[in-house]
Amino acid sequence: MSGGRLYDGFVPGRYQIDAYGNGGFRFADMSHRGSILALPSGIKAWPVAYIGELTDAVLEPIFAEAEEIELLLLGTGVDVAAIPSSLRQRFREAGIGLDVMQTGAAARTYNILLAENRKVAAALIAVA
């Protein structure tokens, strides 16, 4: 990230996603190459390049804020990917709704729900 204050790959606060593509995202007057998590606490770098890299460790920041999240939008890249039932079950147990879609659709939906002040978060895999 550049062009603003950097907090170790974390920008506190809730921000709209201004742009996506070219392997990254623009938000909060900054740009970031790679995938991101947009959580109630802020936006952070997310070390996931494709859906097969979803592990408990990379999902932990989401579950750590479960009380503040009613819906997670999972942007799976250019194509929609199937999510294992065990993973869907973990979200159900945490009380977080899960909506899986292409990254572009997830970013646009996130912006709309954020503008409505909903308890939404997004896990967005970067697209070229």
The pLDDT tens digits along the chain (128 residues) read: 344 444 467 899 999 999 999 999 999 999 999 999 999 999 999 999 999 999 989 999 999 999 999 999 999 999 999 898 999 999 999 999 999 999 999 999 999 999 999 999 999 999 98
Q: What is the pLDDT of residue 6?
A: 46
Structural domain including 55 reads 10-124
Is residue 19 domain-resident?
yes
Is residue 50 domain-resident?
yes
Is residue 4 domain-resident?
no
Is residue 1 domain-resident?
no
Residue 97: phi and psi, rounded to 5, are: -70, 150
Is residue 22 domain-resident?
yes
Instruction: Provide CB contacts within 8 A for 59, sequence distance 6+.
Output: 87, 90, 123
CATH number of the structural domain spanning residue 35: 3.40.1230.10
Is residue 52 domain-resident?
yes
60, 52, 118: which is closest to 109 by C-alpha?
Answer: 118
Instruction: Provide CB contacts within 8 A for 57, sequence distance 6+.
Output: none
| Cα–Cα distance, 49 to 112 (Å, whole number) | 25
- Looking at residue 67, the DSSP 8-state letter turns out to be G
Looking at the 3D structure of the chain, how many domains does it have? 1
C-alpha distance from residue 71 to each of 9, 76, 119, 121 (Å): 23, 16, 7, 6
